[in-house]
Amino acid sequence: MRLFVALDLPWEIKEELSELSFNLIGARWVPADNFHLTLRFIGEASRLQAEEIDLALATLRGRSFAFALSGLGWFEKAGRVSTLWVGVERNQDLAKLQAKVESALYRIGLPPDRRRFTPHVTLARMDSPVTPALTQFVQAHNLYRSAPIRADSVTLFSSFLGKDQPTYTPEAEYALG
């Protein structure tokens, strides 16, 4: 099973993000149900590893906090846009939580994530060069800012890669504070 640890988003925020998700050629829009903020992608895990991950995440301690989504951008791979995203305002509590998740998973033997944590919510997957249309789309929506979002829990999700879009299933939720 493929696993990742994330903050789920309230439905109102998911609806706001889905209202941004149109009018860009080449974008494969993420369904509103799938919007989340990944804290750590784990990948393939056996049933035993999944149980160890669950136990490790159950030991997380921290207070709930608020964060806000802000601005749009994209990630590139080999000169091609791979992901269109909405960013997250700098937040020390979010960075601490992500570090705690990383430490908990490291203690049970998962190798550390080599990528720098760049908090974001994926709006669309793409495979195209940067185009004027993409640049205009990002500029037109770059002032987007969500209302404060309460982070009260962390969720362990499983991911099933389907033909069109992956299906994400919450497997366990871990309360903060």
Residue positions annotated with a catalytic role: 36, 120
Q: Residue 28: left (phi > 0), alpha (psi -120 to 50), or beta?
A: beta
The closest of 116, 144, 138 to 126, measured between CA atoms, is: 138
CA 26/CA 13 separation, integer angstroms: 24
Question: Maximum Cα–Cα distance for the chain, whole Å?
Answer: 48
CB 111 within 8 Å of CB 92: no
